[in-house]
Amino acid sequence: MDFYEIIENTVIVSLFFKVFALIILLIATIMDIREKKIPLSIPTVQMTLSGLCFIYLWSKGITQPADFLYSLIPGIVLLTVSYFTRQGIGLGDGLTVLALGPLFGIMDTMLIVLISFTFSAVIGVILLIMKKVSGKSVMAFMPFLTVGVGVMSFAFR
């Protein structure tokens, strides 16, 4: 299979973008755990890659421009929650979900967020039971978002 056959295969190209997104999220996870902050460059790079993937899929007739707008809804919801909870969910987390939307589409992005919240809740309860954290403790969300993206990229495909 030569290069042109590979770029004609939308499944391979989409998988490439998703693997790259996972690498970016792993870097963001390390930063979020260490510094409790995600630099703006992380969602910016992710949005650029997601946008490129969306344009590629649109050029192949797989997605439509309206799909791009719909895919932003989960990120907009998280950013709204972030605003009203005084960043109970961090701004970087919301921007990252916003950036992942065009790559995964609205349904998969909502499932990523659901998996992430579920996994973080389970871990939070376990840590509370083990008395490793209190009810006021803050947990980095990016590791759970990374797990959600990993599950949606590989487990359901």
Question: Is pLDDT at 5 greater than 90 in this prediction?
Answer: no
CA distance 70 to 104: 11
pLDDT (mean) for 21-47: 93
The residue range of the domain holding 11 is: 3-155
Total domains in the chain come to 1
pLDDT (mean) for 67-77: 96
Cβ atoms within 10 A of the Cβ of 26, count? 15
CA distance 133 to 137: 6
Query: Mean pLDDT over all residues of the chain?
Result: 91
Look at residue 112 in the predicted model and tell me its pLDDT. Answer: 97
3-state secondary structure of 153: helix
In 36-88, alpha helices (H): 41-59, 65-71, 73-84
107 vs 89, residue with greater confidence: 107
pLDDT (mean) for 22-46: 93
Look at residue 4 in the predicted model and tell me its pLDDT. Answer: 63
pLDDT tens by residue, 74-106: 999 999 999 998 878 889 999 999 999 999 999
CA distance 25 to 30: 9
pLDDT (mean) for 122-149: 89
Look at residue 150 in the predicted model and tell me its pLDDT. Answer: 95
CA distance 69 to 38: 24
The single residue listed with the structure tokens 């992430």 is: 116
pTM score of the predicted model: 0.89
Question: Is pLDDT at 1 greater than 80 in this prediction?
Answer: no
Question: Is pLDDT at 3 greater than 70 in this prediction?
Answer: no
